[in-house]
Each structure stands twice: as C-alpha cells, then as structure tokens.
A and B are shown apart, each in its own frame.
Chain A
C-alpha cells in the first residue's frame, strides 16, 4: 500500500528552529573492528550521567570509522570525556579531538525523512555562505547543523531562504 503526500512549498515549513551554544564536539577515529569497544565506552558515558545533543558514526577509508559526539560543554565533564577518549584510544595523538565551544542549529519538520530536497535546503545554503559545517545529521524529522562559535545566528539567517523562519530563535546553552 502506498500513501501519497503532496507538498507544494516555495519555502519549507518547519515545526521549529532552535540554537544551542556552549557545546563540545568530540570526534574519535578508530578501526571498525573496535566498534564494540567504543560502544561500551559510549555506554559508560551514560552511566556517568552524560547526555548528548547529537551522535553520528561515519565510515572513513580503509575500514576506519569516525564517531562524533556533540555534548554540552562543562569543564568537569569535558575532562572526564577526554580521559575516556585517551584511555579508549591508548592516548594515540590525533586519534581524537575536541572542538569547543561550538554551536548547533536544530530544525524539525513534517516528514523530513520522506521528502526530497530537505538535505539540500539545509546544507547547501550553509556551504554557500562559507560557514564551516563541522558536523551535521539529518534523520527522522530532525536536522542538526554544528557550526563554530558565533556562527549559529548567521546559519539561521541563511536558512531563511529555504525554510520558513520568522525570526531568529534565542540562543542559549544546553541544560543537558
């Protein structure tokens, strides 16, 4: 059975947009065969009460993978995560890094996962505006865009060409 939904939107309507500041983006690269180990490392963060804003896992070349964790930045928490990453990688230099502070723009909308052109509408304007896109995730009905400090407002502004955004959302740190 197929259900057909018809959208005709010169600009894509959304349920909402928000920006979060004061975040840390941790990335770690590891051989794919170490994935179970890294799964356990991530689970241990949960036991420590850490919550995430965004997590992505991407394949790199030669069987390596990159895990990206976007978390609220906090000195104690950051230190704990750095220790975890160092222990998990055997303190290999260059195998993990932390970018902080960074900011996130988050949009959600109807049937984003079922509609063509959504990723283009979110990604292309950011690249065209030469805003460094540090990480992104578009899955389900969500779009997450991770950009450097002081770039979230500009990111929202350039998304106003493709999405219906009446005004800039207030920016603030995450409470997570």
Chain B
C-alpha cells in the first residue's frame, strides 16, 4: 500500500515562506583528542580569508566536539586546501593529515522554512516527509524563527513539491531562489 504523507487528521501547517541557498559544500570536522585545537584554527583561517559560513552547528562525541558547517561551493577548493594544511596539535595523533577527521559533502543546498514557531510538529513532519521521499537530509539547525535543512542542491525544487503536501505557503510567495546576494567585503 502506498504510504500517505499527510494523514487526513493532520492539518497542513501555514508557513510564511521557503527559501533556497546557493550551492554549498558541507564539512563535518571531528575533534580527535582533547588536545586537538584545530576547530578554532580552522575558524580563524576561514575568517581571515573572508570565507563565510552560511551554516554552523556542533555537538559532542563524549568530551570531543564535532562541528558541521557549510560554505559557498565557489569557496570549497580554498577550504579543502586550508583544512588539509591545518595541523592536529595533539600528541597522540601528531602527523595525521587533517583530512582524516573531515567529511565533505558537495552539492548541498539549504532549504529554509519559516517560521517554525518552536513547534516540533512542523520540524518533524518536514524531516519525515523528506526522508520518506528519499531525499537525504545532511544536517539541520533551527534559528530564532527558521528551520534550515541541508539537502542535495539539485533536489531543492523536488523537496518543495514534497513539502507542498504538509505546508501552506502564502498565495503570492516570492521566488524560492535568491535574487541577490549580500557579500561582506571588509570587516
């Protein structure tokens, strides 16, 4: 039997809008030892090269940090080189290439849905609907009002079509794709 994404007893959820990011690359960096100070080094070098992190989140594997961030696809080669060169300054892992602790996913796009109203209902149904449709969710994070979901960039339009079963968008919704970008040129 075909699975129904929106059971009749679950009302559709009104949202204010959905936005797409430009194409991104997602990196997940794992701290390999307490003495591993590579994350602040990476963050400092990214800032020094004026590379914006459009998305960042972290959690802990026991006492060790795991951080996930996204950068514009155009900056990815520079970030790859930077990450490969960052030393892991922990005695027990000295000499291990930086790339061993990094997972990289290219061709990512952020689907931003707002507002979430701090309700797990919208968040949970978005995640379940995308996953049931076979759209890989690479990561997600909530802001004060928006839910940012990182999926495969080429599937952003398909994702919106799937979410159409659970959310109601305003009648005259603005385009999903960004019509302009904001670039900080100096700080």
Question: Measuring CB to CB, which residues of chain A are less than 8 angstroms from any residue of chain B?
Answer: 1-9, 27, 32, 35-47, 50-61, 66, 68-69, 106, 108, 111, 113-121, 123-124, 127-128, 132-142, 176
Contacts and interface: CB of A to CB of B under 8 A. Distances in A.
B39 A123 contact: yes
B186 A136 contact: no
Contacts of B103: 59, 61
Given A51-B119, A59-B103, A138-B56, A124 B139 contact: no
Contacts of A7: 184, 186-187
Contacts of B50: 116-117
B58 interface: yes
A139 B141 contact: yes
Given A139-B142, A139-B148, A140-B148, 18 more contacts: A7-B186, A32-B136, A36-B131, A36-B132, A39-B125, A43-B121, A43-B128, A46-B119, A57-B127, A58-B139, A59-B68, A59-B139, A116-B187, A134-B60, A137-B143, A140-B146, A141-B143, A142-B143
B180 to A, nearest CB: 5
Contacts of B146: 139-140
B130 to A, nearest CB: 8
B126 interface: yes
A93 to B, nearest CB: 15
B138 interface: yes
A116 B112 contact: no
A39 B129 contact: yes
Interface of B: 28, 30, 37, 39-40, 43-44, 46-47, 49-61, 63, 65-69, 103, 105, 112, 118-132, 136-148, 179-187
Given A5-B182, A139-B56, A51 B51 contact: no
A57 B26 CA distance: 13
7 contacts: A47-B121, A111-B184, A114-B184, A115-B187, A116-B46, A121-B47, A139-B148
A176 B59 contact: no
Contacts of A52: 118-120, 123, 142
Interface of B, secondary structure class, is mixed
Interface centre among A38, A42, A53 (most CB of B within 10 A): A42
A128 B40 contact: yes
A158 to B, nearest CB: 13
A83 B90 CA distance: 40
Contact of A55 (B66, B136, B140): B140
A68 B59 contact: yes
B111 to A, nearest CB: 12
A136 B68 CA distance: 10
A39 B124 contact: yes
A128 B39 CA distance: 11
Given A59-B139, A120-B47, A140-B112, A5 B183 contact: yes
A119 B141 contact: no
A138 B55 contact: yes
A1 B40 contact: no
Nearest to A123: B43
A138 B144 CA distance: 10
A36 B128 contact: yes
